[in-house]
Structure 1
Amino acid sequence: MALGASHRLHDGVLAVDTMTRFALAVLALASGVYTYLGVRSLLDGSPTAIFFAAIIYSASVSVGIYAFWSYMARFFPHVIQASSRAALVGVMALGCAMIIAMSSWLNAAALAGSAALEQHLAETVQDYTADLDQAHQNALAAQSLLPDIQRTSERFARLAEDERENGALTGTTGSGSVVQLLSQMSAQLSELETGIIASRERVASLFDEGRAHLATMRTLVSAPGAVAPRSDAFSAEVVALSGVITSLEQTSIAPSVKRAAEDLSLGFIAPVADGRGADLVNRQDEVMQTIRASVAAQSQVLSNAADDILSREPVAERRFVPLSSAEAVLRYGADFIPAWAGAISIDLLPAVLVFILAVVHGAIRRQEERLPFAQRITAAELLEALEVQRALGRQGIDVEQAVQEADSEDERGREESNITSLDVSGKAPRKGPPA
């Protein structure tokens, strides 16, 4: 039964030998084709030079893969010694690493290069969207000061009107120095209010322009067709969007608010009291001192608010770096694990065939070791033995007698060994019945 199983395994190995070679050839060719597609995206130069360089490289890869796995399939299953088999396993591991380095990553670039480039463009769109939003928020931050400025300007204008009509501050009606001072402060704040409103319109215009660039970039990411021309158009949009973001950063009115707030107190010029009587002059001076204190307080509030806006983190400078398909696959490899698995499997699948052959040949050797010698000897070995017997016969040596003498010597050696073991154990040998 063992003999039949061994023969069937032998027949199976012979039957799949051609299939094994065909499979190795097909896998090596497939790896070469995808390697050609991957390496072509990395080369620069004329189309003819790129074509021949990629063909030579991919052909070298195919031949190398086929030769390597052919050697392993031929020799690994027949190596029995543990040290030799461990050495071959180390060689196989080194070869697999070299195959991955020279072919598998290019295969992955061919399989998922376009998708990886599109992901690179998509993530770039997200980054620039965040930058545009941040620049827009920084530019609009000064708009939060507009209600306070409007309220203060209206308060000064209302006080000036009350003083002119009713003498609410000095007790004397008319357009005197107090009215002039209040009108002056209201005018300065109104100018600052006008500047902030104009800045809002400029910021809105720039933000709309930036969103238009982002919309074009998103369209390029998801558009059909080759990714290379889309990437070039994408780069042009990135340059334009970067200019918009820079303009938004420079459009912020916060520095102007800071300077205007300081001018309110540092550039405060109070007119000379123009009252006809000393009592009115004193009242005007007291009111103008109160106005100075109010202006100083308002100036400090605006200055602190402008400092908070200016302390915001500016938009970091960002550069768009175009990638090749191979570089994109390496950078975003974790997102394309199926493509990497397929690319590596094409190159390393022959290792499975090698281990299958090793297991089968090991099983054949174990089954043949349990067979009698007469069933294990081959026809060639039998013919060789008969030739040796005829040669010994010509020399006058009786082979059968020599075999019988050798068997007798073996029998006597076994009996002496048994007697020696009984003497050592201290027991008398068992006597048999008399002959």
Structure 2
Amino acid sequence: MAQSHSYTLRGQLSRLDLMTRMTLAILATGSGVFTYIGVRDLIDGSPTTILVGAVIYSVAVSVAIYAFWSYLMRIMPHVRDRGGRAMFYLAMAIGMVMIMAMSAWLNAAALAGGAALEQHLSVATEDYQGRLNEAHENALAAQSLIPDIQLASQRFSRLADEERSSGALTGTSGSGTVVQLLSQMSRQLDGLAAEIDASRARVADLFEESGVRLNAMRGLVAGEGPVAERSTAFAVEATALSGLIASLQQTSVAPAVRRAAEDLGRSFIAPVAGGLAEDLRARQSEVLGRVEAAVQQQSAALAQAADEILARPAVETVRFTPLSKPDAVIRYAGDFLPSWAGAISIDLMPAVLVLILCFTQDQIRREEGDEMEVGDMSAAEMMRALRIQKRLRAEAGEDELPRLAPADDIVQHNEPGAPAPFPLRQGSGHS
């Protein structure tokens, strides 16, 4: 019963031999086609050079894959020694790595190269968006100082008005030294606030132009047409946007505010009290001292606020790096795992067939025994063996050689339904 089962396995292997060859040829051809598509983006030169180089490389890959798996399918199932089988497994592992190195990544580029390039453009767009927002925030950071500066200016202006109308500080109304100094401080602060506010328009123009460039980049990412051409146009827009981001960083007035704050405290010179009476001059000097202290305090506060703005990290210059399809597939491999799986499977699928053949051959050996290995002969091989036997008997004599049953006797003993003593197979294909 076991022997009959082994004959069935041999018969099935014989029937599947053609299918196995066709499957291997189709897989090798398919891998070669995808390799051709992927390798075209890596070859530089004229169209003829690219075509010839890609064809030669893809044909070489197809032949290598077909030959590699054919060798394993023909030889490996018949190796019984454990050490020999282990060496074949090692050779198969090395060959699989080499196939992935020369073909699988190019297959992945053919399957997902365009999508990977679009992914690269999308990631670059988001990077530019983040850098633009950061530069815009830094440029507008000084605008947050305007309310504090205006409050300080209004305080000085209000004190000047109160001193002018009612003498709230010195006890004597009129436009004297104190009023002039307070009005002067108010005007300086108003001038600084106006300078900061004037930069807002420049920042707004740059940000608006940057938004136009950014929208154009998004349109190229989601657009139609060859992705290589869109990538070239994207690089042009990205270069222009990088310049706008750099200009935004230069429009920050925080350094000017820092210098103005220092000048406000350093350049303060209290005027000489101009009152006619000694008592009035003393009161004026006292008020001027308080005003000077207030100016110094305001100067320190503005300088500290400007320092906090200047302490922000500068936005690094963004540089867009174009990629080829194979490079993009490798860089964003984690986003295209199904494509990588398909690209690798088309090259390594024959490994499963090799293992199936090995397992089947091992099962046949276990059921038939080692002595049945010699019985795996075709009819032509058996007839040739009988002719050799007759020639040797004629040369050496009947008594020197054991007599083999004639072919007719073998056929006669092979009754219908009974297994043949020697399994006959058609042709010379592998078992």
Q: TM-score range by the shorter chain?
A: 0.7 to 0.9
Shift of 1:375: 8.3
Residue 175 (structure 2) aligns with: 175
- Residues in 2 aligned to 1:61 and 1:45: alpha-carbon distance in whole angstroms: 21
Task: Note the aligned Cα RMSD (angstroms).
Answer: 2.3
Structural mapping, 1:274-313, within 5 Å: 274-313=274-313
Residue 320 (structure 1) aligns with: 320
- Residues in 2 aligned to 1:255 and 1:373: alpha-carbon distance in whole angstroms: 92
Amino acid at match of 1:53: G
Structural mapping, 1:35-434, within 5 Å: 35-369=35-369, 380=382, 383=386, 387=390, 390=393, 394=397, 396=399
Q: Is the 8 A contact 1:392 1:399 kept in 2?
A: no
Q: Is the 8 A contact 2:153 2:189 kept in 1?
A: yes
| 3-state secondary structure, aligned to 2:172 | coil
Indicate how the Cα distance of structure 1 residues 155 and 369 shifts in structure 2: closer, same or farther if over 3 A, else same: same
Q: Is the 8 A contact 1:231 1:322 kept in 2?
A: yes
Please identify runs of 4+ aligned residues in structure 1 that moved more than 6 A: 370-379
Number of residues of Structure 1 aligned to a counterpart in Structure 2: 400
Shift of 1:387: 3.6
Amino acid at match of 2:386: L
Q: Is the 8 A contact 1:3 1:375 kept in 2?
A: no
| 3-state secondary structure, aligned to 2:320 | coil
Shift of 1:139: 1.4
Mean Cα displacement is larger for which, 228-237 or 311-320? 311-320
Shift of 1:18: 1.2
- Residues in 1 aligned to 2:375 and 2:176: alpha-carbon distance in whole angstroms: 134
Shift of 1:55: 0.7
Shift of 1:392: 9.0
Amino acid at match of 1:279: D
Q: Is the 8 A contact 2:393 2:401 kept in 1?
A: no
- Residues in 1 aligned to 2:347 and 2:354: alpha-carbon distance in whole angstroms: 13
- Residues in 1 aligned to 2:278 and 2:190: alpha-carbon distance in whole angstroms: 33
Residue 429 (structure 1) aligns with: none
- Residues in 1 aligned to 2:155 and 2:66: alpha-carbon distance in whole angstroms: 89
List per-residue Cα deviations over 1:333-375 (Å, max 9, x = no partner): 1111100110011111111111111122222222222899998
TM-score by length of 1: 0.87
List per-residue Cα deviations over 1:409-434 (Å, max 9, x = no partner): xxxxxxxxxxxxxxxxxxxxxxxxxx
- Residues in 1 aligned to 2:299 and 2:331: alpha-carbon distance in whole angstroms: 52
Q: Is the 8 A contact 1:180 1:271 kept in 2?
A: no
Shift of 1:182: 0.7
Shift of 1:212: 1.9
Larger radius of gyration: 1
Shift of 1:377: 8.5
Shift of 1:20: 1.1
List per-residue Cα deviations over 1:123-147 (Å, max 9, x = no partner): 1111111111111111121122111
**1:11 to 2:14 alignment:** no
Amino acid at match of 1:212: V
Indicate how the Cα distance of structure 1 residues 365 and 387 shifts in structure 2: closer, same or farther if over 3 A, else same: farther
Indicate how the Cα distance of structure 1 residues 47 and 185 shifts in structure 2: closer, same or farther if over 3 A, else same: same
Shift of 1:395: 5.5
Residue 403 (structure 1) aligns with: none
- Residues in 2 aligned to 1:281 and 1:115: alpha-carbon distance in whole angstroms: 82
Indicate how the Cα distance of structure 1 residues 18 and 267 shifts in structure 2: closer, same or farther if over 3 A, else same: same
Indicate how the Cα distance of structure 1 residues 252 and 397 shifts in structure 2: closer, same or farther if over 3 A, else same: closer
- Residues in 1 aligned to 2:177 and 2:313: alpha-carbon distance in whole angstroms: 44
Mean Cα displacement is larger for which, 42-51 or 189-198? 42-51
Indicate how the Cα distance of structure 1 residues 203 and 397 shifts in structure 2: closer, same or farther if over 3 A, else same: closer
Shift of 1:376: 8.0
List per-residue Cα deviations over 1:152-191 (Å, max 9, x = no partner): 1011111111112222212222221111111110010000
Q: Is the 8 A contact 2:76 2:85 kept in 1?
A: yes
Amino acid at match of 2:42: L
- Residues in 1 aligned to 2:187 and 2:372: alpha-carbon distance in whole angstroms: 119
5+ residue gaps, structure 2, are 404-431
Mean Cα displacement is larger for which, 138-147 or 387-396? 387-396
**1:25 to 2:28 alignment:** no
5+ residue gaps, structure 1, are 401-435
Q: Is the 8 A contact 1:389 1:399 kept in 2?
A: no
